[in-house]
Structure 1
Amino acid sequence: MVTEFPEPTAPATGRGEVFLRYLDYFRETVVAKVSALAEGEVRRSILPSGWTPLELVKHLRHVELRWIEWGFEGRDVGDPWADRRGDRWYVAPEETREDLLAALRAQGAHTRAVVEGTDLAAVGAPGERWEGAEPASLERVLFHLLQEYARHLGHLDIVAELAGGPVGE
């Protein structure tokens, strides 16, 4: 799926649609960049911090899970930190690129359904996600997700270029 950059001049039905367009764009750009890398490159780190492109994909899926399902909706998601082992992102050897990318897209579809069915001013359900603070509004959660995606996509841009993958947006 090719998602066009959400130009600020493109008409939108509201702020929720703007958030969704940017999230979809960032998510699909992550999918495209990771899909274009050679199999050996998606499980190899070229950075001192040690993360791999597949670990980034799994992390982003769990970021959405933690903020939308576990946080905003207050749902039991099992282990919300399943993208980590200790203080590192982790992908098991049996986890495939295809499965991780499908999980990322499915999480995005869930986020879309929540945003389309909820007022942006709605406040999240109380729960562990908020670590004792008052739950945030959906709009604040979405703003946080956008910065997560934008920041990590920038990281992936550099890693993909260094690995001989796609360059640019």
Structure 2
Amino acid sequence: MTIERPEPAFSSDEVTMLRGFIDHYRATIRLQASGLTAAQLDQTLPPSDLTLGGMLKHLAFVEDYWFSYNLMGNEPAPPWDTAPWSEDRDWDWHSAAGASHAELDALLVEAIERSERCLDESLAADPELDRRVARVRPPEKGENATLRWVLVHMVEEYARHAGHADLIRQSIDGAVDV
């Protein structure tokens, strides 16, 4: 499996720039987990309980949550629709234990593909980044996100976890520039 890590453009419109950074960090996370066994994907770097396997599944959830559920207003897709969130708020992280790299990477790749379709469809209907997402938050939760916020948040989400992935991967096999 070859994972290409695209470099974001130094000069482009805002949507292209944000998508470029998201794509760069998506590939970074996938590369950090590549070539590892299920046991290695389950390894933690104490005192944290984060794992690379959990990170792949968590990011698949985040993709679906922000692009399909919030941006487009769709209902949760499998496996998120039947996840026991009330029993384990970190189910996405914990339920990855024992899963193979192929299984977890495929889950993330499929979620990314759905996200890209949702984003393309949304931008085709209305290219304004200041517009609100489809899913309206309850008043006690505050203001509804804009499309711009979702894109910036996805850069932040991936970049934060890419730093975690660097540390976890180095603790597993010493790899520092995967």
Aligned length: 166
Q: 1:91 corresponds to which residue?
A: 95
Structure 2 length as normaliser, TM-score? Answer: 0.79
**2:149 is aligned with 1:149:** no
2:112 is matched with: 108
Residues 32-82 of structure 1 show CA distances to partners (whole Å, capped at 9, x for unaligned) of 110133442111212212121100111111111111111111111154694
Residues in 1 aligned to 2:168 and 2:81: alpha-carbon distance in whole angstroms: 26
Q: CA deviation at 1:7?
A: 4.2
For structure 2, which runs of at least 5 residues remain unmatched after alignment?
none
d(CA) in 2 for partners of 1:75, 1:38: 34
Q: Does 1:136 align with 2:145?
A: yes
Structure 2 distance, partners of 1:83, 1:16, is 35
Specify the code of the residue in structure 2 equivalent to 1:41: Q
For residue 4 of structure 1, what is the aligned residue in structure 2? 6
Among candidates 134, 137, 148, match of residue 125 of structure 1: 134
Q: What amino acid does structure 2 have at the position aligned with 1:4?
A: P
Which residue of 1 is the match for residue 20 of structure 2?
Answer: 21
CA shift in 2, pair 1:135/1:81, >3 Å: farther
Secondary structure of 1:23's aligned partner: helix
Residues 67, 119 of structure 2: 8 Å contact kept: no
What TM-score comes out, normalization by structure 1 length? Answer: 0.83
SS in structure 2 opposite 1:163? helix
Any idea what SS the aligned residue of 1:36 has?
coil
Is residue 27–residue 149 contact of structure 1 (8 Å, CA) maintained in 2?
yes
Matching residue of 1:76? 75
Report matched runs for 1:45-56 at 5 Å.
Answer: 45-56=44-55
* Equivalent residue letter for 2:160: R
Q: CA RMSD, aligned part only?
A: 2.6
Q: One-letter code of the match for 1:121?
A: D
Please tell me whether the aligned partners of residues 4 and 25 of structure 1 are also in contact (alpha carbons under 8 angstroms). Answer: yes
The one-letter amino acid paired with 1:18 is M
Structure 2 residue 163 is matched with structure 1 residue 159: no
Instruction: Confirm or deny: 8 A CA contact 1:33 1:160 kept in the other structure.
Output: yes
* Mapped contact 1:71–1:130 kept (Cα < 8 A): no
Deviation at 1:146, TM superposition (A): 0.7
One-letter amino acid of the counterpart of residue 91, structure 1 = S
Distance 1:6 1:151 in 2: 17
